[in-house]
Amino acid sequence: MGEKIVFKSYKEMPIRPMSVADMTWNLTGSWRNVRPYYDFKVSPCRAGCPAGEDIQKYIFLLLENREEEAWRTIIETNPMPSVTGRVCFHPCMEKCTRKDFDQALNIPGIERAIGDMGLENRRWMKKASKSRKEKVAVVGGGPAGLSCAFFLARRGYAVTLFEAERALGGVLRWGIPEYRLPNALLDDVIAQIVESGPITVKTGTALGDEIDLASLEKDFDAVFLGFGLSESRALGIDGEETNGVESGLGFLMKVNSGEKVAPGKRVAVIGGGNTAMDVARCALRSGSDVSVVYRRTRHEMPAINDEIEEAEAEGIKFRFLAAPKEIIAKGGKLSRVVFQEMELGEPDESGRRRPVPIEGKTFELELDRMFTAIGEAADLGPIEGSIESEWNLMVTGDGSCKTSREGVYAGGDVVTGAASVVEAIAAGRKAAEEIDRAFTKEAEPAAEEQKIIGIEDINTAYFGHSTRNLLPRIDHAEAIAGFSEIHGGFDSNRLRGEAERCFSCGVCNFCDNCWIFCPDVAIMRREDEYEVDYDFCKGCLVCVVECPRNCISTREEGK
Amino acid sequence: MKRVIMGNHAVSYGVRASDVKVISAYPITPQTQVVELLSEMCANGEIEAKFIMVESEHSAMTACVGASAAGVRTFTATSSQGLLLMHEILHWAVGARLPIVLANINRAVGPPWSIWTDQNDSLSQRDVGWLQIYCESNQETQDTIVQAFKIAETVKLPVMLVLDAFFLSHTFEIVDILEAEQVRKFLPPYVADRQVDITESHSFGNLASPDGYMELRYMIQKAMEDSRSVVRDVDEEFGKHFGRSYGLVKPYRCEDAETILVTSGTVASTTRAVIDKMRDEGIKIGALKIRVFRPFPFEEVFDVLSKAKKVAVIDRNISFGHHGIFFQEVKSALYGRTDIPIIGYIAGLGGRDVTPGVIREIASRAIGDTKPEREINWIGVKE
């Protein structure tokens, strides 16, 4: 502070009330008792994604016309967005904040679009070269194995990927029908993964036949087992071996191989999961009248809701609270099946109410074919006695992918039982990270405790109501006439329109509100961030209130 | 180009011609068409200005203060309750010496609710330090907007234009529309003497001790007094450019008038028609329209009225417990310099018509009352 200024006449004064001197001596930030600071939180979609995809970030990048970076963001956690964008059960949408405002964002539609851009722009995938001396064997070419191989290769490990069947893909190829995931697209996805780094593929090489655990351990520094569930569960009733009673999985495999199959006019599918839906809809497309018979009710069906709705809309009939009791053959061929009617009893260990037979109540269906789809099981024969297992699933310790055997890791359905593609992808990545840490001796990064945003954290005054953009689709009649993919992708307008619906929960998207509203011009806008000028921030917290997405937190000064 | 437009649109066209950069306003009957047209003009590029939408008149004036302090030409319009809500910031604009122009459409203040005209809204802002100019026709309205920016920027004080609701705001007249290119020579782009600049930190509107406050107020008063000649010069210069001038006051057939009726706003036109009629009957009567209310044109008023034998002031307003407000002002202009009787008449509050008959009645009573019992007379009140 300089000397006191004394005016001898009004003529020496400025005409308007303003300080003559510069005001930097008076740093009004000293008036502040609460400090705002930028503090990004976690979007609930990201928290809800088993693979932990940074959904907010890739949507933001897409809106900035930075498509390649958007794709790269997904690839950090999931090497096959074109696949998950089509077949994932999208728990991200269940968590989307927008569902508490109007309708959840169509996240899979956006993910699919970005994934497909990555397939069209193959140079986006920068090939990783071998930079590590260790070699890793990955057994199983399904989503878990592909993911594990991809993330190991990214880190410079030479990977050999063993697949029992004649082509990679696992459940993606043999389980999921073409109308949900076209084979040509899957081929592109797999080629992109395999070409991404030092990955050697050996198809037609099954564990227990062409290779065994001991030889893998000898030739490789680590082994990942992700061979999924290849066996269909049996019904456990008389006559199951009758000609005309088949596993749904076997049927799907034939259909997905392009084999022409005619299961007959009257078909029943037993089960309520995704496999049952896929079998039923494939049978429908093969010219059959299809009934799904499930022992619980619609409410307990484990299948993805969209799939159930599609199946219903396509004309598949549902019989709930019934289970096959007796199979009756005629001339060595399936003729009819007696079904036991059920009612729901007490909840079982899965939390769903257990079906209980109603004494004396049965009905019969005349059938040409009955497919069983009541669950799949792992074939653990090849590792029997070498690795600890329980309930016919491999055991891994404490949230890790390590098995009971040193240097052997496992993940995907073979550990969890029938789960989802995205969970298998997540497990494959996790195993890759653990294998990497075992070699590099790097410590596991500490998990940060971060707040997950909810609708109460959003300043909804900044958002208008809108409806979700839906993917274009062919109608049901056209859909059931063949195996063409039902849904198309977003055009660029709809893609942008849908992306613009994102609240960007808890993460700054440079909307400028804090900068605009600060009455003290104490928010500085930098190249890619804002900064609070604490010399002049008086702690009014207008920025905190006006941030639509809760990116600014507060703390009391001196505490 | 001549067009038939409503009074409110005359305001908009005046703004369009004036190279305004920020307009912030909130709609209110009877002002709405002013900003409606301006927002369209901003949207279609006829005016290259930022139109700031706000949630109240208080914010509208605050946005104008901010924009003007940042160094750009700034306009707003309002009416009645809206003007009253602006009151605090009207003071601020004066204290900060910001040349904002505001158009106020005179509307009676509630309750009881009214949308019709009287002058109490603008006249209750008499002492805040805004110049006030009362317009009579659509042409004058458009032209005065252009003049107002020049006056405001010269004296560094805000200017308020005042229009009667409906009688002027919603009445269509022929207006010779001013275009920005014509006006630019008369009113060049605004260059502020001081802008808020975040790279050079100063405190604005800061605390002034008793040691300095009075000087700042003194300078405002001085600027107001100086503004009389500025208003006159600007009006004359406007006349040279465009062939139309309006004066601070407008006398009509006053040279040999024994009685002079003092009016403002649209009542002035009606009064002139009555004067012609009465002159035809041989009555020596004239009229004086007061156009500029602040600064008050003491000399012009005195020069005209001091030659008469009697003065009648028609007020479309009332200062409760005192008189009509123009009456008080006229009286103070003559005080101590003449002993002509001055009689006040209150008429037309809340939009009641001031017809030629009403003016004739006032004129007759003024002529007849050699020694009026009351200085203040309510016309047409159902007693």
Length of chain B: 383
The closest CB to that of A17, out of B198, B201, B208, belongs to: B208
Task: Name the A residues in 519-548 with CB < 8 Å from any B CB.
Answer: 521
Task: State the DSSP code for A442.
Answer: P
Instruction: Tell me the C-alpha distance between A394 and A410, whole Å.
Output: 7
Amino acid identity at A170: G
Chain A CB contacts of B205 below 8 Å: 17-18
Measured in angstroms, the CA of A476 and the nearest CA of chain B are apart by: 47
User: How large is the ipTM?
Assistant: 0.79
In this structure, are residues B149 and B101 in contact, taking their beta carbons and an 8 Å threshold?
A: yes
Helix or strand holding residue A192 (H, E): helix A183-194
Residue B372 predicted with pLDDT over 80: no
Residues in chain B with CB shorter than 8 Å from the CB of A10 are 215-216, 218-219
- Nearest C-alpha neighbor of A470 from the set A176, A103, A78: A103
For residue A499, give the amino acid letter.
A
Q: Which of B159, B150, B8 is nearest to B79 (CA)?
A: B8
| Minimum CA–CA partner of B93 in chain A | A16
Contacts of B311 (CB under 8 A, 6+ apart): B259, B260, B262, B305, B330, B334, B340, B341, B342, B343
Whether A258 has its CB under 8 Å from any CB of chain B: the answer is: no
Of chain B, the end-to-end C-alpha distance in Å amounts to 50
For chain A, the straight-line distance linking the first and the last C-alpha, in angstroms and rounded, comes to 30
CA–CA gap between residue A166 and residue B325 (Å, rounded): 101
Q: Alpha carbon of A225 to those of A138, A204, A248, A393, A418: distances in Å?
A: 6, 16, 25, 12, 15
Is it the case that residue B239 has pLDDT exceeding 70? yes
Inform me whether the C-beta atom of residue B201 falls under 8 Å from chain A C-beta atoms.
Answer: yes
Which among B234, B265, B267, B268 has a CA at the least distance from the CA of B251?
B268
| Rounded-to-10 torsion of CA B160, B165, B167, B169 | 70
Q: Do B204 and A18 touch (CB under 8 A)?
A: yes
The one-letter amino acid code at A398 reads D
- Does A15 contact B at CB distance below 8 Å? yes
Task: Please state, in angstroms and rounded to a whole number, the distance separating the CA atoms of residues B293 and B49.
Answer: 30
Band (B197; pLDDT cuts 50, 70, 90): confident
Q: What one-character DSSP code corresponds to residue A526?
A: -
Q: Which residue of B has its CA nearest to A26?
A: B203
Does the CA dihedral B31-B37-B41-B42 come out positive or negative? positive
Omega before residue A198 within 30° of 0, cis? no
CA distance A26 to chain B (A): 10
Residue of A nearest to B220 (CA): A15
Contacts of A429 by beta carbon, 8 Å cutoff, 6+ apart: A51, A77, A78, A147, A148, A151
- The string of DSSP codes covering B208-235 is --HHHHHHHHHHHHHHHHHHHHHHHHHH
Q: Which residues face A323 on adjacent strands?
A: A340
Cα–Cα distance, B33 to B360 (Å, whole number):
34
Residue B165, SS3 per DSSP:
coil
Residue in the structure block whose two tokens are 């001081």: B194
What's the rounded Cα separation, in Å, for the pair A528 and A399? Answer: 37
Interface with A, mutate which of B65, B219, B227 (most A CBs under 10 A): B219
pLDDT for A349: 82
Based on the number of CB atoms within 10 Å of its own CB, is A93 exposed (0-12), middle (13-18) or buried (19 or more)? buried
Stretches where chain A sits below pLDDT 50 are 1
pLDDT at A19: 83
CB-based contact B180:B146 (threshold 8 Å): no
User: Are B169 and B6 a contacting pair, CB within 8 Å?
Assistant: yes
- Measured CA to CA, the distance from residue A400 to residue A169 in angstroms comes to 24
CA distances A70 to A50, A118, A501, Å, are: 19, 10, 17
Give the one of B96, B198, B223 whose C-beta lies nearest to A17's C-beta.
Answer: B96
Cβ(B356)–Cβ(B305) under 8 Å? no
Q: Look at the block and give the residue holding tokens 């140079």.
A: A123
Q: How many CA atoms lie within 13 A of A450 on its CB side?
A: 18
Strand pairing category for A369-372 and A266-270: parallel
In SS3 terms, A229-279 reads as CCEECCCCCCCCCCECEEEHHHHHHHHHCCCCCCCCCEEEEECCCHHHHHH
Distance separating alpha carbons of residues B307 and B284, to the nearest angstrom? 12
Q: How far apart are CA A503 and CA A46, in angstroms?
A: 13
What gap in Å lies between CA A305 and CA B48, rounded to an integer? 54
Structure tokens at A267: 């078909």
Question: Which residues in chain B are closer than 8 Å to A19, comparing Cβ atoms?
Answer: 202-204, 206
Q: Does B53 touch chain A (CB under 8 A)?
A: no
pLDDT of residue A2: 58
Burial A249-264 (b: 16+ CB within 10 A, else e): bebbbbbbeeeeeebb
Q: CA nearest B216 in A: which residue?
A: A15
Cα A441 from Cα A433, distance rounded (Å): 11
* pLDDT tens sequence across B323-370: 999 999 999 999 999 999 999 999 999 999 999 999 999 999 999 877
Rg, chain A, Cα only: 29
Contact flag A18-B206 (C-beta cutoff 8 Å): yes
Cβ pair A460, A98 in contact under 8 A: no
One DSSP character per residue, B281-321 reads TT--EEEEEE-EEES--HHHHHHHHTTSSEEEEEES---TT
d(CA A126, CA A124): 6
3-state helix/strand/coil string of B25-44: ECCCCCCHHHHHHHHHHHHC
Q: Which two tokens stand for residue A143?
A: 């989503």
In angstroms, the separation between the Cα of residue A35 and the nearest Cα of chain B is 22
Angle, nearest 10°, between helix axes B356-368 and B267-280?
Answer: 60
Closest by CA to A216, choosing from A379, A386, A378, A377, is A386
Report whether pLDDT(B121) > 70. Answer: yes
A13 touching B (Cβ < 8 Å):
yes
d(CA A376, CA A171): 11
Residue A391 has a pLDDT of: 87
- Which of A7, A18, A28 should one mutate to test binding to chain B, selecting the residue with the greatest count of B CBs within 10 A? A18
Residues 6+ apart with CB under 8 A from A299: none
Contact call for residues A233 and A375 (beta carbons, < 8 A): yes
Using a CB-CB distance cutoff of 8 angstroms, which residues of chain B are in contact with residue A23? 201-203
Residue B224: predicted pLDDT: 98
The length of chain A is 559
Distance from CA of A150 to the nearest CA of B (A): 52
Q: pLDDT per residue over B241-257, tens digit each?
A: 999 999 999 999 999 99
